[in-house]
Structure 1
Amino acid sequence: MPKSVARDRVWLGVCYYPEQWPREMWEDDFRRMRELGFDVVRMAEFAWSTMEPEEGVFRFGLFDEALDLAHRYGLKAILGTPTATPPAWLTERYPEVLNATQAGVPYRHGQRRHYNYNSHVYRSFSERIVRRMASQYKEHPAVVAWQIDNELNCETNVFYSESDHRAFRAWLIGKYGSLDRLNEAWGAAFWNQTYSSWEQVYLTRPTVSDSPNPHQALDEKRFISDSAISYAKLQADIIRELAPRHEVTTNGLFGHLDSHRLTDELLDYFSYDSYPQFGSIYPDGGDRPLRDRKWSWNLSKARSVSPQFCVMEQQSGAGGWVNRMEMPAPKPGQMRLWTYQSILHGADMVLYFRWRTAAFGTEMYWHGINDPHNRPNRRVEEAGRIGEELRRVGGAIAGKAYRADVAVLGSYDNEWDGELDRWYGPLTGYSVTSWIKTLQYAHIPVDYVNAEQASAETLERYRVVVYPHAAILSEETARELTAFAERGGIVVFGCRTGLKDENGQMRMQAFPGPVASLCGVEVEDFTYVLEGDAPKVRWTAERLRGAPDAVGPKFVDVLRVAAGDVEVLARYASDYFEGKPALTRRPVGAGAVYYYGSAFEESVAQALTAELGLRSPLLDWFEELPEQVEAGIREDDGGRVAFLLNYGSTPAAIRTKREVRELLTDRLAEAADAFELEPYGVALFSL
C-alpha cells in the first residue's frame, strides 16, 4: 500500500534558516509567516556545525530558541538531519569520509554532498548527530516530522571512494555468492574480464574508450541505490526509536536511487522538490514546448511514490547559483500557478524555498519569497493570496486522489541500464515526451507507474498503459501485462522491447522476447536511424487514414506478423524495409496489445490517442478547453475537484456545459456560462 501525507487540509509552509539571520529578525519572520497562512517551517538540514561546532561538543541553543519561537506563533516544524553538509573539522580530520571521482581523486570541502554513504567513520558521526538531535527534540511541541539528509544523490549520484569499492565487493558477495556466478552475470568471458579473486573486483573505473562492462555498470547503479537506502535507514531507525510519534520523510527524486523502495521500507511519505523553471531552461524541444508545464510529469513520478506527497521545496523566485543554472523570476501569477500545479498532482503539503533569499554563499541568487532587504515585494503578496485561498479550500482537496485513465510505465533497471546503452536509452525520453505533450494538450491526465511494482491488479484502474522501450523486461512483468490485457486493458509497446534479461544480457530468443507471443509479432530486422533518415510510415488501417503524417525516428524494428489475429495498422513507406509492418494490434482476451516498431513521435502518439478513444474527463463539464490550459481532477468518495491551470501569458476562455461551483471565488457557474481565466491563472471547480 503506497504511503502518503495524512492531512485534513493542504498545509502551506516555507524553508527557514535561523542560523543565517540575526536573532532579532526571527520573531518578525515567524509572525509574518502566520499572517501569510503558513502552517509549517523546515529547518536545520545544513546546520551541523551550528549544533556540533567541534567534535563531540554539542550546542542546541540556537534551534531550541528558534523552535520555541516558532511554536509560540503556531508553526509546526520539520527538522532536517544535517548530514548533507559535514563540518570542516570532520572532513579535515577524517578524509576517508569524502567521495571521490571515478579516477579516485577525492572531492574536497567547500560545497555539499561531498561525502560517501559507505564510510564507517561517516556513518558513525551521522548516527551520533541524528541521535543527539532526536533526543533533543523528540518531545518538542513544534516538531512533527524529520527530513533525512537533503536530496540524496543530488549533485552527484556516483561514488568511487575506497569505502565504496570495499562495500561493492561485499554487496556482490551477498548477491552472487561466488565468483563463478558473478562472472556469468557480468558476461566476463568477453574481452577476458574473468575474475579469479574478489580483490580484483571494483566499481567501474576509467577505461580506454569510456565504455565499461555494461552488466557491471548496471550492478553499480543498483549498489549505489542500496547504499543510499542503507544510509537513510541508519537515520530512520534512530528517529523511529527516539521519536516514534514524528513522521519520517526525505526529499528528492534523483538518479541511481529507488525512491519507491526507499519510501516503502523507511518513510511515512515521499517529498519532492519542484522547480518548474528548469523546464523553461531545458525545454523539451519541437513545436509547442511544454516548458514549466513539463514539470507536471515530474510531479506524476513523485505521485507514483506517494499518492499524496509533500513538496519540500516549491520554487518561489528566480533560481541560480553564482556560477550556473540561471532562471528568470517567475512572472506575476506563476508562483501561484506552480503551487496549484503541485497540489493538482497530489501535494498535500507545500513548502516554499525559501523564506528569504540568502545574503551570502553559493545560493545567494536562488531567490526566496522575501529579498535580503526584507522589504515588501510581489512574491510575498502572492504567497499571502495562496495562503488565504488554501485556508478556505484546502480541506476540500486534501486526501483526494489524482484521477487518470492512462499510465506510462518506466523502470529503474531500464533507466540505469539505458544511461550506458545508447541503442535504446535515449529513445525513452523522446517517446515519453511525445506522449506527455500529446496527452497534456488533449487535457488527458496521465500517471507514471513503476513497472517493477506493477501487477494486473494495480493496473486495473487504467484503460491504457504505455511502456515505450522496455529493453529489460522480466518474465514476471510480461505475465502481469498479459493478465492486464486479458482483463480488458490496452498495452502499447515501442521498439527495442524485451531484448534483455535482468542482468542486462541479450536474450537468445526472438524479439520482443517475453512478450513476443503476447504481441503476435517478431522483429525480423532492426536498425539505428541516422538523423534525417527516418523512414516514412503509412497508415494502412482505414480508420487511421486521416491521421497526421508520421515517420519512424531514432530506431526501427522491422516486424513480422507471427499470429493470425494480428492487424497491421501501419507500414513503413520508405527504405529497404518499405511495406513491412510498423504498427500492429492484437486482441488479447477482453483487451488488446499494440506494438510500434520505432520511437513515438507526436504524430504517432496523436494517432494512437484517437485510435484508443482517449478523451479528457473534463469534457463532461466543459466545452473544448484551450490548449494552454492543463486540466486534471482529484477525487474521493466525498466528491471531485477539477483544476484548470493556465500556463499562457494571455487569458484563456472557458465555457461550462453543466452547473459547477468555482471554489476560489465561490462562484456558481451554470450551463453555457463563459468566463476568462487570467494569464497564469488558476480555477478550481467542485464537480
Structure 2
Amino acid sequence: MTKTLHAKSLKVGVCYYPEHWSSDMWDSDLEMMRHMGITMVRVGEFAWSIFEPKDGEFSFQLFDEFIERAGQFGIGVILGTPTATPPAWLTYKYPEVLNVSLDGIQFQHGLRRHYNYNSPVYQQYCRRIVEKMAKHYGENTHVIGWQIDNELNCEIDVFYSERDHEAFRQWLTVKYGTLDRLNHAWGTVVWSQTYTAWEQVHLTRPNPSHSVNPHQALDEKRFISNSVMRFVENQTEVIRQYAPHQFITTNGIFGHLDTHELTERYLDFISYDSYPNFGMLADDESLRDREWSFNLSVARSVSPNFCVMEQQAGPGGWVNRIEQPTPLPGQLRLWAFQSLAHGADAIVFFRWRTAPFGTEIYWHGIFDYDNQPNRRVAEIGQTINEVSLLADKLAGSLVQADVALLRDYNNDWDGEVDTWHGPYTKKSVKEWFRGLQTSHVPCDVLNLSETTQLADLRRYKVLVYPHPVVLSERVTELLEQFVSAGGILITGCRAGLKDVNGHCRQVSMPGPLKNLFGVQVSDFTRIQGAYEVPNLVWNGDESSSGCIHAVDFNEVLQPTSEDCTVLATYDRNYYSGTPALVQNSFGKGTTYYYGSVFTRELAKKLIELTGLVDTENKLVSTTEEVELEIRRNPLTGDRYVFLLNYSGQPQAVHLHHGCRNALNGELIEGDLVLDGYDVLVCEVPDGGATARG
C-alpha cells in the first residue's frame, strides 16, 4: 500500500526556530503568519541541547510556551526529532557516536550530521530523547505531526566507524549465512580476496588504487540504507506508542537510502525539500530550476501526495558554500506552484526569518534580518492567497501522466562505481526529461523493486527504462507482462548485463531481455580516442544523417526476431550501416532498443513515434519554455492544468477550448500571454477537452 499525505485541504506552513528569537517576538511573528494564511510551523529539529541541556536533565519549557502560543493563533506544529545534531555533552562523553571517514579520520563535534547510525550508545540516547518528547507532546492537540531527524544522509552518506564495520559483518551474516555464499556474491576469487573468517570482512578501506570491489560496494549501499531504516524505526516505534494520532514523516531524498522502503515501512508519507535555485548555478544547457520538476516527480513516486517541508523562500547560502542568486521577482511563486503541480498538498517555506548568526546566516527566509516587509514577503503572501483558492479543490488530486521513467536503487548504487553505465543513466534520464518537458508531455518517475506489481506498470502507455544494467528475473518477467498486454517499453545500451549481485551474465546482451526486444548485441565500444560520434540514418535515408547523434557508447545490434524492424543505423566507424535502433513486436505491445545513450533529439523522435503527443484533442498549445502538468481530482474528475513559465520573457499560450482560470475565477479561451515567471492554472471540468499540451 502506497503511503501518501491525506489532506482535506492544501496547507501552507513555515519553518520557525523559537530558540533563535526572543520570546517577545513570538506573538508578532505568529500574528503575521496568521494574517498571511500560514496554518502550521515546523520546529525543534535542531534543538536537542534545549530539550536536554545536560545528560538526563530534560526541559520542555521553551517549546511548551511557544507551542501553546502557536495554538492560540490557530497554527499547528510539526515537531522535529533533534537527532541530526547531538549535543556537545553527548559527543564529548561518548566519542564513539561520531562518524569516521574512509581514511579513518573521526569527525568531531560541530555543525550537524556528524554521528553514525550504528552506535548502540547513540541509538539509546536517540530513543530516550524521542521517547521523552513523545510522552510529553503525544496528546498535545496543537502538535499535528513529527519529522524524524533532518535530511537523512545529507552532508554525508558513507559511514566507516568501527561500529559500522561490526554492524556490516552482522548484516552480511544474515544476508548470506555462510562465507562461501559471501565469497561467491562478491567474486572474491579475483585478486585473492577470499575471506576465511568473518573478522576479515570490512567496509571499504583505503587501498593503493583507490578503487573498490564493485559487488562489495553494492552491498555497502544496501547496508547503509538498512542502517538508516533501523535508526528511523528506533524513533518511530516510540512515537507510534505515545503519539498515535500525530503523523510521522521525514524530509529530503538523499543518497544510499531506499526512501520507498523507508516510507512504506515506517512513515505516513514522505516530505521533500525543494530548492530550485540550486539549478540556477548550472552553467550548461540544462533545465536549470525546471530540473526540480524531476526531483519532485521522484518524491511523488514515493508518496503520490506529499509535503514539501522546506520550500525555497529566498537566496540560499552557507558562510562557506552554496552561493545562489536572489530569486527574481515571480520565481518564488513559480517554484511554489511547481511543487503543487507535481503533487505537493502541503508546502512549508524555509524559513520565516533569516538567521543573524550561525552557519546559515546567508540562507534567507521570507523576512530578512531587519524583519521589515519586502518583495519576497509580498510575493509569498500572494502565493498563499492563491493557494487558498485551490485548497479544497486540489487536495488529494493526482498527477496525470501516460509515460513513466523507470529507475531502481540497484542500478543507481551500482552506477556510482561502474562508469560504464552510471553516467549514461544520468545523462539519458536528463535528456528524456528535457524532451518530455519541452514536448509538454507530463511524466512520472516509477521505482522498480521486487514488490512492484503489474498494475503499477499498466497505469502507463509508455515506460522508459534507459539503461537497466542490473536486472532481476522477476523484473524481467514483469516487463514482459506489461508489453505483452499492450504496453510500450523503451530501453538503451548495456541493458540486462548484470544480475542482482552485479555479476556480468555470461550470455549475449541484453541477456534476459533478448526475447522482449528481439535483438542481441554483437559488438560494442565507448566513443573515445579514434572513434567518431556517429549520426543516425533513419530507414536507410542518408539525408536524415546528422540530425541525431549516437553519443558516448555504441552497441552493434543484431535482430533475432522476425518481428524486429531496424529503424535507424550508424553512419560511421567500422560498424557504419549496422543497426542502432530497433523496434520489436511482443504480444500486443511494442519495444524499442537503442544501442547508445539517449539525447533530447532522439527522445522527442520517440515521443512522436509512440503517440505521446495528442495533437488532435489537446487543450493547450504553448512554447517550450512553459511546463505543462495536470492534476485530476479522483472524486469529481475535474482536472487542473498547470502552465509554468520558467522564462523571464512573456510566452504565448493558446487555449483550444474554454476553461476557468482557477486563480481568479475568470473564463478564458483563445490566445493568451503568460508573463515572465508567471503561472496559470486552468480548471477543466470532468468531460471537458483532453488536457494535453
Residue 320 (structure 1) shift: 0.7
**1:24 aligned partner:** 24
Number of the residue aligned with 1:661: 660
Offset of 1:455 from its aligned partner? Answer: 3.2
Q: May I ask how many residue pairs the two structures share in their alignment?
A: 681
**Do residues 409 (structure 1) and 401 (structure 2) align?**
no
Measure how far apart 1:610 and its partner are. Answer: 1.4
Deviation for aligned residue 1:542: 7.4
Q: 1:282: how far off? A: 2.9
Instruction: Say whether 1:585 aligns with 2:583.
Output: yes
Q: What's the offset of the Cα at 1:572? A: 1.0
Range that drifts further, 657-666 or 536-545: 536-545
Q: Any conservation in 1 of the 2:270–2:307 contact (CA below 8 Å)?
A: yes
* 2:573 paired residue among 561, 572, 575: 575
Correspondences of 1:159-170 after superposition (within 5 Å): 159-170=159-170
Cα distance, 1:547–1:245 mapped onto 2, change above 3 Å: farther
Task: Give distance in 2, aligned partners of 1:268 and 1:480.
Answer: 28
What amino acid is the match of 1:503?
N
* Alignment CA distance shift 1:29-1:139 (3 Å): same
Deviations 1:487-541 (A, max 9, x none): 1100001000001000001111111011011111111111111279443233333
Q: Is residue 205 of structure 2 the alignment partner of residue 205 of structure 1?
A: yes
Residue in 1 aligned with 2:563? 565
Q: How does 1:179-190 map to 2 (within 5 A)?
A: 179-190=179-190
Q: Report if aligned partners of 2:4, 2:306 keep a CA contact under 8 Å in 1.
A: yes
Shift of 1:35: 0.7
In the alignment, residue 420 of structure 2 is paired with which amino acid? W
Q: Deviations over 1:25-51 (max 9, x none)?
A: 011111101111111100000000011
Q: Is the 8 A contact 2:306 2:343 kept in 1?
A: yes
2:320 to 303, 323, 331: 323
TM-score, length-scaled by structure 2: 0.96
- SS of the residue corresponding to residue 592 of structure 1 reads strand
1:456, distance to aligned residue in structure 2 (A): 2.4
Which residue pairs with 1:679 in the alignment? 676
Partner of 1:246: 246
Q: Does 1:436 align with 2:433?
A: yes
Question: In structure 2, what is the Cα distance between the partners aligned to 1:329 and 1:178?
Answer: 56
Partner of 1:496: 494
Corresponding residue for residue 153 of structure 1? 153
Offset of 1:318 from its aligned partner? Answer: 0.3
Counterpart-to-counterpart distance in 2, 1:425 and 1:247: 36
With normalisation by structure 1, the TM-score equals 0.97
Percent identity over the alignment is: 50
Q: Deviations over 1:182-218 (max 9, x none)?
A: 0000000000000000000000111111111110010
Following superposition of structure 1 onto structure 2, how do residues 246-325 of structure 1 map, counting pairs within 5 Å?
Answer: 246-282=246-282, 285-286=284-285, 289-325=286-322
Any conservation in 1 of the 2:505–2:511 contact (CA below 8 Å)? yes
The residue identity in structure 2 corresponding to 1:593 is: T
Q: Give a deviation string over 1:106-161, Cα, whole Å, max 9, x none.
A: 10011100000000000000000000000111111111110000000000000000
- Distance between the aligned counterparts of 1:609 and 1:664, measured in 2? 31
1:548–1:607 CA contact under 8 A, matched in 2: no
Q: In the alignment, residue 18 of structure 2 is paired with which amino acid?
A: P
**1:263 CA displacement:** 0.4
Is 1:455 the counterpart of 2:453? The answer is: yes
- Of the three residues 514, 521, 527, the one matched with 1:523 is 521
Q: 1:236 to 1:584 in 2, by over 3 A?
A: same
Instruction: Return the offset for 1:454.
Output: 3.5
Q: CA deviation at 1:619?
A: 5.9
Q: Which residue of 1 aligns with 2:395?
A: 398
Query: In the alignment, which residue of structure 1 is the partner of 2:216?
Result: 216
| One-letter code aligned to 1:415 | D
SS at match of 2:144: strand
1:58-110 per-residue CA deviation (whole Å, 9 max, x = no partner) reads: 01000000000000000011000000000000001100000000121110011
> 1:594/1:259 Cα in 2 relative to 1: closer, same or farther (>3 Å)?
same
| Structure 1: gaps of 5 or more residues | none
Checking the alignment, whether the CA contact within 8 Å between 1:548 and 1:603 is kept in structure 2 is no
The aligned residue for residue 689 of structure 2 is none
Matches within 5 A, 1:101-180: 101-180=101-180
Residues in 2 aligned to 1:584 and 1:455: alpha-carbon distance in whole angstroms: 27
- Per the alignment, residue 73 of structure 2 pairs with 73
- In structure 2, C-alpha distance between the alignment counterparts of 1:511 and 1:678, rounded to whole Å: 50
Q: Residues 398 and 144 of structure 1: is their aligned pair in 2 closer, same or farther, counting only changes over 3 Å?
A: same
Matched, 1:236 2:236: yes
Letter in 2 for 1:226: N
Letter in 2 for 1:413: N
1:657 is matched by which residue type in structure 2?
H
Does the CA contact (< 8 Å) of 2:536 and 2:546 recur in 1? no
User: Per-residue CA shift, 1:152-174, capped at 9, x if unaligned?
Assistant: 00000000001100000000000
**Ranges in structure 2 where 5+ consecutive residues have no aligned partner:** 685-693
CA distance in 2, matches of 1:663, 1:217: 50
Which one is further off, 136-145 or 153-162? 136-145
